[in-house]
Amino acid sequence: MQKLPIGIQTFSKIRENNYLYVDKTEDIFNLIENGEIYFLSRPRRFGKSLLVSTLKELFSGNKELFKDLYIYDKWDWDKKYPVIILDFGKLSYKNSELLESSLNKFIDRLARKYSISLISTELPDKFGELIEEIHESLKQKIVILIDEYDKPIIDNITNLKIAEDNRKVLNNFYQVLKASDEFLKFIFITGISKFSSTSIFSGLNNPKDITLSKNYTKICGYTHSELEDYFKEHIENLANEESLSYEETIAKIEYWYDGYTWDGKNKVYNPFSTLLLFDECEFSNYWFNSGTPTFLMETLKKENNLQPIIEPIAATKNDLDTFKIENIHPTTLLFQTGYLTIKEKNKKHGSIEYILDTPNYEVRESLINELIITYTNLSDNHLKKLKNKTYTSILNKDPKEFIEILENIYHRLSYPLKGDNEKYYHGIFLVALYLLGIDSQGEVTTYSGRADTIFKIKDKTIITEIKYSSKKPTKTIIKEAFKQIKEKKYYTRYKNENPIYLALAFSKDDIDCEFREKL
């Protein structure tokens, strides 16, 4: 089996040491042929740095590294360009002074590399002078590759003063690229977030944002065909370890790590988790545990809204594009950091609507467990006991015991997640099911409406309707819930499965429920 490039983001190291490389050079070739200034947003550990490294070797004309790859016989190897790589992961940026100092040192190192003496002292002027002098010295246009452009902001997002000061430094710095356009061959910028163009790139000639472009959805991550083409031996090895068939193993990998899509059609597997899966030969939570941003958890707790995580949510293009330092919308944050992905892309009334959902099992379960355990402080042992009691109470149709379980969880969540409407209680019920390890579906569409929640306990399907009223008694609300299930015929597709019907009623101070086998 070919060696796996665990933690290796340098293209030359992968190729020279015979590590497995999934060929992305067709996408790269099309990218370069069709434009000159690009921006790409992808979640952390999704292959952005490897993409930047590949571009560097390509423009540097290192032909032998590309032997047997798509681009090998299509590139003009006689043309070589000076390449400037600015990787913010290697700079200091704890405050704007350190950021400026790091950028100045970066420019000074480049000046020494090209034997250039710089006269300017101000950061933007020095950068502009450096670009022009390299061009004059080599008589070649320059390629500029910027990796993790937003790191000085994102990593300081909990301190708005530092984040804003760093944003201003970057804005002034990037303005130079517009003024230097005549000296530049190609610009490629990557990051996790996309700030509005006026806040960061106002001085740049509007880089083409290919984040949601259908032409480049597969430029990072592994497609299903790539998984089977490049990792066949690793899949077979994993199948042996798991005592599964090849087809069962593929299905399990897909369930755990596939599902990322930026156009609602072309899906890719998380490359970080996939590589570690084959290396460890064990299904586990790799990407989430590799460093979920603290500010993400803090923002979600502050917003007291778990809807984007527990059920699909609609969003506009503007929701996905705009990342404001002073007012971070949870949906935007979750999408840009990779915890939500595009499941559907629909045209409605002349505009585009995106349906977002968690991409796969790894992300969904990890994120919900992290949040809920943070909120409830429930131990794994306690959760296991609650899960066993839940199974028993539902299969025995015991409303008293089921209510006790719900109250145990709800009362722990009631303070951090305030709410007093039906949607709030619906959300918390889904959270409780997730927490108990019960796979469920929220807002299940039928031909005549949407069932609140449908889940399975062993071989039983439980069709649930949730109602809330601050005025009506719970017994009245329960009757209304069963009436709605019957009138909307939520049971139609499940009628041969002997479903159990569950009505959950919430009032201002009370929880009640009732199970029925017939309506």
pLDDT score of 115 more than 70: yes
CA atoms within 13 A on the CB side of 240: 6
Residue keyed to tokens 């935007």: 332
3-state secondary structure 164-204: HHHHHHHHHHHHHHHHCHHHEEEEEEEECCCCCCCCCCCCC
Question: What is the mean predicted confidence (pLDDT) over 282-309?
Answer: 74
Q: What is the largest CA-CA distance in the chain?
A: 86
Q: Helix (H) and strand (E) counts for the chain?
A: 20, 13
The helix (run of H) or strand (run of E) holding residue 421 is none
Q: Nearest to residue 467, comparing CAs of 449, 453, 488? A: 453
- What pLDDT does 198 receive? 47
The answer to whether 230 touches 20, Cβ cutoff 8 Å, is yes
The helix (run of H) or strand (run of E) holding residue 109 is helix 96-113
Q: What six digits make up the tokens of 327?
A: 């007012």
Q: Nearest to residue 293, comparing CAs of 191, 164, 158? A: 158
Measured over the CA atoms of residue 161, residue 162, residue 167 and residue 169, the dihedral's sign is positive
Residues forming CATH 3.40.50 domain(s) in the chain: 11-209
Report in angstroms the alpha-carbon separations of 374 from 328, 378, 435.
21, 8, 12
Q: What six digits make up the tokens of 222?
A: 């592994």
Quote the distance between the C-alpha of residue 482 and its chain's center: 38
3-state helix, strand, coil in the chain (%, to 5): 45, 15, 35
Residue 259: which residues within 8 A CB-CB, separation 6 or more? 267, 341, 358, 359, 360
Question: What is the mean predicted confidence (pLDDT) over 475-496?
Answer: 86
Residue 159: which residues within 8 A CB-CB, separation 6 or more? none
Q: What percent of the chain has a predicted confidence (pLDDT) above 70? A: 89
Q: What percent of the chain has a predicted confidence (pLDDT) above 90? A: 55
- What pLDDT does 147 receive? 96
- What pLDDT does 39 receive? 93
Residue 312: which residues within 8 A CB-CB, separation 6 or more? 343, 355, 356, 357, 443
* pLDDT tens-digit series, residues 422-463: 777 777 787 778 777 777 776 666 656 677 788 888 788 889
3-state secondary structure 7-37: CCCCHHHHHHCCECCCCCHHHHHHHHHCCCE
Question: What is the mean predicted confidence (pLDDT) over 167-194?
Answer: 91
* pLDDT tens-digit series, residues 18-47: 999 999 999 999 999 999 999 999 999 999
Could you give the CA distance from residue 421 to residue 470 in angstroms, rounded to a whole number? 9
Report in angstroms the alpha-carbon separations of 419 from 160, 306, 409, 500, 519.
28, 11, 15, 28, 30
Under the banding of pLDDT at 50, 70 and 90, the label for residue 416 is very low
The answer to whether 62 touches 21, Cβ cutoff 8 Å, is no
Q: What is the CATH number of domain 377-516?
A: 3.40.1350
Long-range CB pairs of 432-441, under 8 A, 24+ apart, other chains included: 432/406, 434/310, 434/364, 434/365, 434/368, 434/369, 434/372, 435/368, 435/369, 435/372, 435/376, 435/378, 435/383, 435/409, 436/383, 436/386, 436/387, 436/390, 437/383, 437/387, 438/387, 438/390
Range 11-209 classified under CATH 1.10.287: no
pLDDT score of 415 more than 70: no
Under the banding of pLDDT at 50, 70 and 90, the label for residue 368 is confident
Residue 219: which residues within 8 A CB-CB, separation 6 or more? 24, 27, 28, 31, 40, 51, 210
pLDDT score of 470 more than 50: yes
Q: What is the DSSP letter of 494?
A: G
- What pLDDT does 290 receive? 77
Roughly how many angstroms between the first and final C-alpha of the chain, as a whole number? Answer: 58
pLDDT score of 417 more than 60: no
Question: What is the mean predicted confidence (pLDDT) over 484-499?
Answer: 83
Residues forming CATH 3.40.1350 domain(s) in the chain: 377-516
**pLDDT, mean over the chain:** 87
Which position has the higher pLDDT, 195 or 214? 214
Question: What is the mean predicted confidence (pLDDT) over 128-140?
Answer: 97
Backbone angle region of 293, left / alpha / beta, with phi > 0 → left and psi within -120 to 50 → alpha: beta
Question: What is the mean predicted confidence (pLDDT) over 194-210?
Answer: 68
- What pLDDT does 203 receive? 58
Q: Which range among 22-26, 190-194, 478-482 shows the weakest confidence by mean pLDDT? A: 190-194
Q: Nearest to residue 363, comparing CAs of 268, 288, 253? A: 288
The answer to whether 158 touches 295, Cβ cutoff 8 Å, is yes
